[in-house]
Amino acid sequence: MNALITSKPVWRLAVALLAVSAVLSSASPGHAQLVVGPEITEAATQGFGDRQNSIAWGMAWWPCTSPTSCQPWQNKLYVGTGRSIFCVQQATLEYFNPDNKFYPPKDKEIVCTPDAHDLPLQAEIWRWTPETNTWERVYQAPNDVPIQGTMKTTSRDIGYRGMLIFKEADGTEALYVSGDTTRGQNGAGFDGPVPPPRILRSVDGVHFDPVPFDPDAVLGSPLVSGFRSLKNYKGRLYVVGTVGQLGHGILLEATHPELGDFRQVSGNRPDGKLLTFFEIEVYNGFLWGGTGVQPQNDPTPFSLMKTDATGDPPYTFTTVIPPGAYRKRKPAPAVISMGVLNNRLFVGTDKEVLRVNPDDTWDLVTGTPRKAPDGTRYDPLSGFDDGFDNFFNLHMWRMSTHPGAPGVPWLYIGTNDTATKWRNLKGLGNMLKPTMGFDVYATADGWHYTAVTQNGLGDFHNTGLRNLASTPYGVFFGTANHYHGMEMFKGFNAPNPVGTPQRLEVEGVGKIAGLTWEGSPTATKFHVFRETGFAAATELAVTDASLPTGRSYVDQSLKMFKTYRYYVVAEDANGKLSEPSNTVRTPFKGPIPTFKSLEAQLTKWNAPASITGPLGEAKTALLLDTPDFTTALAKLQAIGVLITPPSQPMPFPYQSQDLGVLLAKFVRRVGLAQAGALPVKMLMK
């Protein structure tokens, strides 16, 4: 990290930063940017009135097909539940490991029946109607599967893991729902042999019928235990048929899913083993598959692949992100989630987020820095380490976009946080409690991330954000809560007259961190907050927005070898508070722009001379015996103007987006040098 020299007065540093931050950025608008905090409210009775509805699993918004009128089943949100899922997991573990006494769970707050054969496993589908703000259960799976060796019955469908509104070949619009069972890979589980999983179809949102497809008859071995990740690509329906309970499985395709004409379109890996996918997504004209394995049986790390689904199956898949994304220590076994923002594909694994660009290059967004075999360095764009710096974030579990300010989509990333299981452990439980529960982070540019929640939206029993759905009425968050039942929350962008502080950045080392930010022209004060470890954020300082130093702060109270995180909230003359800024951490682990790194990046991008020329001239101006900061900043400003839409001098638009972010960061660093707070030589290497 680069040294922040404090021998010069802090006010000089702040004046310089304020001057240069205006070079590439305008003041932030005075309205809401994303859904946070008090804008998120509980949207349904917990568990829909039944704590055994433990997961809000599949979710789909059924929009109106006509701009002037809706069918009775349209303009509604559909949610499929998972039933007693933690109880099922423990019963399954005991079935395959009978000597380990996994069932019933030792955590008494998780209620399971004494006999696992009595678990209420009938999955449900619920529907929300915005006009009345009411929920109704529109389907419950039958309880009609005999349990071998008993007089009891159970349900084939224990959860509805995925949902998709799909337009069929004849124009019919239908809701497809993928089911999950208690099956193991051999077709049996703790409830004995159960029939294969089902895919349900509904054309009216009330009547749900299974599509005529028997995966056992079509696929043979290995037997499919469930279905997940429904996607529409080239007018065909794709779904992952899972093998075992972890979720990885075989890729299936149907041209006429209503007729059940599913077929396997994935094949084998080069080593001859079955190629299994965990998550699929459609992006940039291709169908993308994130691989996954059972890590106890197969050490193969995840890969990200794509196919155009042409020719005869098995389709050809091209690897874009290589195994483990070059991570050396504990690479993730599976891709857990994917989402698209600003024509980039975001990929979530266990603890990391990656990003694929339209030219199939890729970046690390959160995670441990690493080098590729060719020496290419991958630093997390966000500056965050694994799990957004939360050791207990086990998965980057779900992603979805939702509009914020007009024309500005935000990507929401929700996690699975395992800290709650330690809640009753003396000492550790109290330390972790402020940030127990899943996290949600949101970004509009892929670089800067705002914490929407770090405590499960106020309930630390909400260990995971299991799904999101964007609707015209707000964004819905569905949770996993094995203790008291899943919860549904709805977030709505409420207009806010106080502009949100933008692009908070940090520069620091050792015991010093310098913070600067932009925007919020109506603010009279800025509140600076700091987080350390797992403690809740505390207010560190208040700055006067009317002063030159008002949009900066230097924290000189850091301790060595500790991680600190900051965010800023604006306040106007009426005492109204803004939404929080993005969060930054120090030590910062992301890319730090210098002339050398910018030159290397522009070479990699094949940038034209209209971009590389002014950068070289700015460098020359700062290499003078008396550095010419005025000329250097003017040249950097010229690049900023050139890459501002609709101008597009770069080979790909995404490169202009990223260059704009890097340039804004670099201009601030030049300002630090101009203020005497950073040696000019630190801008070079």
Task: Give tens-digit pLDDT for 346-367.
Answer: 999 999 999 999 999 999 999 9
What's the CA gap between 494 and 293, in Å, rounded? 42
How is the chain split among helix, strand and coil, in percent rounded to 5? 20, 35, 45
Q: In b/e form, how buried is each residue of 281-310, taking b as 16+ CB within 10 angstroms?
A: bbbeebbbbbbbbbbeebebbbbbbbbebe
Number of Cβ atoms within 10 Å of the Cβ of 276: 27
What's the CA gap between 657 and 661, in Å, rounded? 7
- Compute CA distances 598 → 25, 275, 295, 616, whole Å: 19, 39, 39, 10
Q: In b/e form, how buried is each residue of 335-369, taking b as 16+ CB within 10 angstroms?
A: bbbbbbbbebbbbbbbbbbbbbbeeeebbbbbbbe
What's the CA gap between 335 and 306, in Å, rounded? 13
pLDDT in tens, 588-640: 999 999 999 999 999 999 999 999 999 999 999 999 999 999 999 999 999 99
What is the pLDDT, as a whole number, of residue 28?
42
pLDDT in tens, 269-323: 999 999 999 999 999 999 999 999 999 899 999 999 999 999 999 999 999 999 9
**CA geometry: angle 226, 317, 416, nearest 5 deg:** 45
- Checking if the pLDDT of 373 tops 50, the result is yes
Alpha helices in 475-522 (DSSP H): none
Q: Which two tokens stand for residue 361?
A: 């290059």
Pairing of strands 263-264, 409-417: unpaired
- Exposure of 442 in the CB half-sphere (CA atoms within 13 A): 24
CATH architecture of the domain with range 37-491: 7 Propeller (2.130)
What's the CA gap between 480 and 463, in Å, rounded? 6
C-beta of residue 351 within 8 angstroms of C-beta of residue 365? no
User: For a pLDDT cut of 90, what percent of the chain falls above it?
Assistant: 85
CATH code for the domain defined by 10-31+497-586:
2.60.40.10
- Phi then psi dihedrals of residue 479, to 5 deg: -105, 165
Roughly what angle, to the nearest 10 degrees, separates helices 629-642 and 609-622?
160
pLDDT in tens, 69-120: 899 999 999 999 999 999 999 999 999 999 889 999 999 999 999 999 999 9
What is the pLDDT, as a whole number, of residue 546?
93
Secondary element (H or E) of residue 199: strand 199-202
C-beta of residue 501 within 8 angstroms of C-beta of residue 568? yes
Q: Which two tokens stand for residue 88?
A: 């099922």
Does residue 539 sit in helix, strand or coil?
strand
- Compute CA distances 193 → 26, 124, 147, 294, 519, whole Å: 63, 22, 8, 21, 61
Residue whose entry in the numeric block shows the structure tokens 């003396």? 426
C-beta of residue 482 within 8 angstroms of C-beta of residue 85? yes
Q: Which two tokens stand for residue 557?
A: 């109270």
What is the pLDDT, as a whole number, of residue 30?
43
What's the CA gap between 424 and 191, in Å, rounded? 32
C-beta of residue 368 within 8 angstroms of C-beta of residue 386? yes
Q: Count the helices and strands in the chain (H runs, E runs).
A: 8, 41
Residue whose entry in the numeric block shows the structure tokens 């722009």? 593
pLDDT band at 646 (very low <50, low <70, confident <90, very high): confident
What's the CA gap between 566 and 678, in Å, rounded? 21
Four-point Cα dihedral 51, 53, 54, 56, nearest 10 = -140
User: Which of 497, 567, 577 minimizes the C-alpha distance to 531?
Assistant: 567
Roughly what angle, to the nearest 10 degrees, separates helices 653-674 and 609-622?
10
Amino acid at 394: L
DSSP class of residue 28?
P
DSSP class of residue 457?
G
Residue 263, beta-bridge partner list: 253
- Checking if the pLDDT of 10 tops 60, the result is no
Q: How many residues are there in the chain?
A: 685
pLDDT in tens, 121-163: 999 999 999 999 999 999 999 999 999 999 999 999 999 999 9
What is the pLDDT, as a whole number, of residue 406?
77
Burial of 69 (0-12, 13-18, 19+ CB in 10 A): exposed
CA 465 to chain centre: 10
What's the CA gap between 494 and 226, in Å, rounded? 39
Average pLDDT, rounded, for the chain: 93
Pairing of strands 344-348, 353-356: antiparallel
Alpha helices in 115-262 (DSSP H): 215-219
What is the pLDDT, as a whole number, of residue 16?
52
- Checking if the pLDDT of 231 tops 60, the result is yes
Q: Which two tokens stand for residue 89?
A: 């997991």
Residue whose entry in the numeric block shows the structure tokens 């660009």? 357
What is the pLDDT, as a whole number, of residue 22?
44
What's the CA gap between 23 and 12, in Å, rounded? 18
What's the CA gap between 73 and 90, in Å, rounded? 37
Sequence-ordered list of residues with C-beta below 8 angstroms from that of 681, at least 6 positions apart, any chain:
none
Q: What is the pTM of this model?
A: 0.95
Mean pLDDT on 255-277: 97
pLDDT in tens, 536-571: 999 999 999 999 889 999 999 999 889 999 999 999
Number of Cβ atoms within 10 Å of the Cβ of 579: 26
Is the N-terminal amide bond of 104 cis, ω within 30° of 0?
A: yes
Does residue 520 sit in helix, strand or coil?
coil
- Exposure of 654 in the CB half-sphere (CA atoms within 13 A): 18
Amino acid at 360: D
